[in-house]
Structures are given as C-alpha cells and as structure tokens.
Amino acid sequence: MDSIKSLNLDFFPKSYEVCFLESCTVKENCLHHLYFKLQPSSNTWGEAIYPSALMAENLVNGCCKKFQEKKLVTCHAGFAHFFDEVRRKDLPDLRNEIYRYFRGRSNFYRYSKAEKGYLFTQLMADDVKALFKKYGYDEPEYERTFESVSF
C-alpha cells in the first residue's frame, strides 16, 4: 500500500470530486477525502461532494454513494501481442468486439498504455477473457501487470 501514500494531485483524474465532509465515518479510507487533503490552500473552488451525501436516503451500506475506497487493484498494460494467437478468420470479428468493449480503438490503445485515467483492471481483464473464450482462445497476453489505485 506504499503507492497510496505516495499519491499526489497529478495522479487523480481531471474534475475529480473533493470531499471535505469531516463528519463522514469513512473519510480516512476514501479517495475523495484524500484528494481534498492534497489540495493547495490556493484552490478555492471545484467539483465537490455535497453534505446531502450523508443524509440517510443517500447512503448505501452506511456510506455515501461516492465513496471510493483507498485500495490497490491489479491492473494490466501492454497489448502489443493481444491478437497474436487469433486465427485470421476470427480476427476481424473478435477485434471489433474488443474495440466495442473499450468504446473505440483509441480507448483500446489508451488502456494498453495505462494512460492517466485509463487503467485496465482485473475485472475488465475477466470480461475480455470471456470474449476470447467465446471464440475459443485462451486469455490474451499482457506485457506488464502492476498494482494501482483505480478511480
């Protein structure tokens, strides 16, 4: 969990909401509150989570709906050999399904490079694995696997 301690403002996506609700019971485990703590004193406005998030009707399992736990998840990057084992006859259809899953070819490449805000998590890898299995192939190869905070 050392990489969580080394988070800085540059790591967070643009327009990430801050949570400055000191009365929240899970604030120390929430990325939104950590983002608030990292803000410079010169920052006077931006996206925020409103106090109404702590009203009973807005809670889910005792937490506000925006709660994002500070935890590391397994991520993958590097898709250069993604389609190496795919037969020529299956390639166009499988590739199109994969691009649809990523909502476009450019997003596929952003996830491959693990660009800021584009982390290919294990949950997503399981979805892609299911697409490959549908065509009779094993899980695709990734060039690297790493731990990161997911937003």
- The verdict on 52 and 91 lying in the same domain is no
Report the distance separating Cα 19 and Cα 129, nearest Å: 36
Residues 30 and 78 in one domain: no
Q: What is the pLDDT of residues 77-134, one digit of tens each?
A: 999 999 999 999 999 999 999 999 999 999 999 999 988 778 899 999 999 999 999 9
The pTM assigned to this predicted structure is 0.67
Q: Which residue segment(s) compose the domain that 56 sits in?
A: 2-64
pLDDT of 4 above 70: no
What mean pLDDT do residues 69-74 have?
A: 86
Q: What is d(CA 70, CA 4) in angstroms, rounded to the nearest whole number? A: 7
Statement to judge: residues 81 and 136 lie in one domain: yes
Residues 141 and 151: their CA atoms lie apart, in Å, by 24
Rounded mean pLDDT, 9-37: 88
Q: Is the pLDDT of residue 2 over 60?
A: no
pLDDT of 36 reads 92
Check if the beta carbon of residue 30 is closer than 8 Å to that of residue 62: no
Mean pLDDT over each residue of the chain, to the nearest integer:
90
pLDDT score recorded for residue 125: 95
